[in-house]
Amino acid sequence: RIFNGRKYILEKALPADFSLIRANKSDTFGNLEYIGTSRAFNPAMATASKITIAEVNEIVELGEIDPEKIGTPGVYVNRIVKRKPGDPYP
C-alpha cells in the first residue's frame, strides 16, 4: 500500500485463539503486573488473542496493584490461575 507517497508492504495480523501468559501478580479484576523479561512479550499476546489465561504468583484485591505497574489491563484477561507454592518456575 502507499502511505504519504511511499510504498509499504502490509501484512495481516496472525490471530490467536488462546494465549497462556505468566505474570507476577494479578488483582481480582485481572489487571496483571509483570517482572523481568515477562514484560516483553506477554502484554502483546494478551491483547492479540481471543482468550487469555494468566498464571500468577499472587492474587490481590482490586486497587492493590500500583496503576503505574499494570502491564496488561484486566479487560484483556479471561482467566486467572494461581501458581501453587513449590511449582517449578519455567
pLDDT (tens digit per residue) in 8-60:
998 887 788 999 999 999 999 999 999 998 899 999 999 999 999 999 999 99
For residue 61, the one-letter residue type is E
Residue 43, pLDDT score: 94
Cα–chain center distance at 83 = 16
pTM: 0.80
Per-residue pLDDT at 30:
96
- Give the Cβ contact number of residue 56 at 10 Å: 22
Burial of 15 (0-12, 13-18, 19+ CB in 10 A): exposed
Beta-carbon-side half-sphere exposure of residue 31 (alpha carbons within 13 Å): 14
Q: Which residues contact 84 (CB under 8 A, 6 or more apart)?
A: none
